[in-house]
Amino acid sequence: MLRFTILGTGTSTGIPCVACNCETCISEDPRDTRLRTSLLVQSETTTIIIDTSADFRQQMLKHGVKKIDGIVYTHHHYDHISGFDDTRPYTFFNDNTPIQCFALRQTHEVIRQTFPYAFGEAEQVGGGLPGAEFTIIDDEPFMIGDIEVVPIPMKHGSIRVNGYRFGSFAYCTDTNHVPLSSIEKMQNLDILILDALRYHPHPTHFTIEEANEMSKMINAKQTYYTHIAHQIKHADCEKTLPENCFLAYDGLQFEIA
Ligand SMILES: [Zn+2]
Ligand SMILES: [Zn+2]
Ligand SMILES: [Zn+2]
């Protein structure tokens, strides 16, 4: 059995946005509070985190994650990598064993440029460093512990990103184009998590309408939207969605046999 926990469903600003007083940002509905987009995947013996979001520390505390067997990155944008430094305690409390990280080549390069001190490129030595060992991935499936991870290549504006499939669950954040070859990798899904930023068009994310169309093409039993901006108020938007489409929210869990 695999358990999936949605750690965050917010776009890059997080919701509420600082300095905003819109209806969503002052909403008392807990589903309108969204940490940055991230996912926890767990089997009996293996724990995987998808992306180290800007809210990584809070997300790990909230869900009591005591060990991580692998971190898998979708892409290099700051909202998805900036929690990398906060992985340090997982190394300290695990006999300084480096955390296994899996990323596209470009993602690894940007993480290296953003956190040079963690890669032996510090101006001085001192203090604790994140210990991470990177494996460069592309579109070939790979194993972390007993969990098979199947990359799903997608476009996010002009950049290549990866979605991931685990059994009958797929996670496709930060995209506005899923090629046919990747739609084929998502047949017979029970649950699809899909990018849907807002109502108005955006150059790198699906709108709600585009996500509705994409979910019809992929045809999972249920589709849940993530990476949601503050223009979307949960209760109002969800009423307008097609049957089998929903908005995800922080803390939402799924279990799959
Ligand atoms: Zn993002
Ligand atoms: Zn707002
Ligand atoms: Zn992005």
Domain spans of the chain, in order of start: 2-248
The CATH number of the structural domain formed by 2-248 is 3.60.15.10
Per-residue pLDDT at 46 exceeds 80: yes
pLDDT at 125 over 70: no
Question: Residue 171: which residues within 8 A CB-CB, separation 6 or more?
Answer: 4, 39, 50, 163, 164, 165, 193
Nearest ligand (C-alpha, residue 55): 1
Distance 100 CA to ligand 2 centre (A): 36
CA–centroid distance, residue 80 to ligand 1 (Å): 6
Ligand 3 center from residue 157 Cα (angstroms): 9
pLDDT for residue 114 is more than 90: yes
Q: What pTM did the predictor assign?
A: 0.97
pLDDT digits (tens, 9 = 90+) for 200-250: 999 999 999 999 999 999 999 999 999 999 999 999 999 999 999 999 999
Which listed ligand is nearest to 229 at the C-alpha?
Answer: 2
CA 173 / ligand 1 centre spacing (Å): 7
Residues bordering ligand 2, an ion, CB closer than 5 Å: 17, 20, 22, 25, 230
Checking if the pLDDT of 122 tops 90, the result is no
Lowest mean pLDDT, pick from 91-100, 148-157, 222-231: 91-100
Question: How close is the Cα of 14 to the center of ligand 2, in Å?
Answer: 10
Q: What is the pLDDT of residue 120?
A: 84
d(CA 175, CA 158): 10
